Amino acid sequence: MTLRRFILALSLSLLLPGVGSVMAEGDSTYKLASGDIIRISVFGEPDLSFDEIRLNDAGTFSYPFLGDVRAGGKTAAEIERTLTERLKGNYLVDPRVSVSILKYREFFISGEVKTPGGYAFQPGLTLRRAIALAGGLTERASTSRITIIRDQDPQRRPEQATLDTQILPGDTINIDQGFF
Q: Is residue 95 part of a domain?
A: yes
Q: For residue 171, what is the domain's CATH number?
A: 3.10.560.10
If asked whether residues 89 and 67 sit together in one domain, one would say: yes
Domain extent for 114: 107-177
Q: Are residues 94 and 141 in the same domain?
A: no
CATH number at residue 73: 3.30.1950.10
b/e per residue 42-52 (b: at least 16 CB within 10 A): beeeeebeeee
pLDDT value at position 153? Answer: 85
Domain boundary among 51, 78, 103: 103
Q: What is the mean pLDDT of residues 113-119?
A: 95
Is 92 found in the same domain as 34?
yes
**Position 113 pLDDT exceeds 60:** yes
What rounded mean pLDDT belongs to the chain? Answer: 84
Cβ atoms of residues 52 and 37 within 8 Å:
yes
Query: Does 12 reside within a domain?
Result: no
| Closest by Cα among 20, 35, 51 to 124 | 20
pLDDT at residue 54 in the model: 95
Residue 2 counted as domain residue: no
My answer on whether 118 and 95 are in the same domain is no
pLDDT at residue 10 above 60? no
Average pLDDT over residues 108-116: 95
Assess if residue 53 is contained within a domain: yes
- Which one is predicted more confidently, 28 or 56? 56
Count the domains in the chain: 2
Reported confidence tier of residue 152, pLDDT bands at 50, 70, 90: confident
What order of strands is seen across the sheet that includes strand 37-42?
Answer: 50-54, 37-42, 97-103
Mean pLDDT of 53-72: 94
* Between residues 12 and 63, the one the model is more confident about: 63
The reply to whether 112 and 165 lie within a common domain is yes
Out of 11-20, 103-112, 171-180, the most confident range is: 103-112
Q: What's the average model confidence in pLDDT over 72-76? A: 93
- 150 found inside a domain: yes
End residue of a domain, out of 83, 103, 123: 103
* Residue 96 belongs to a domain: yes
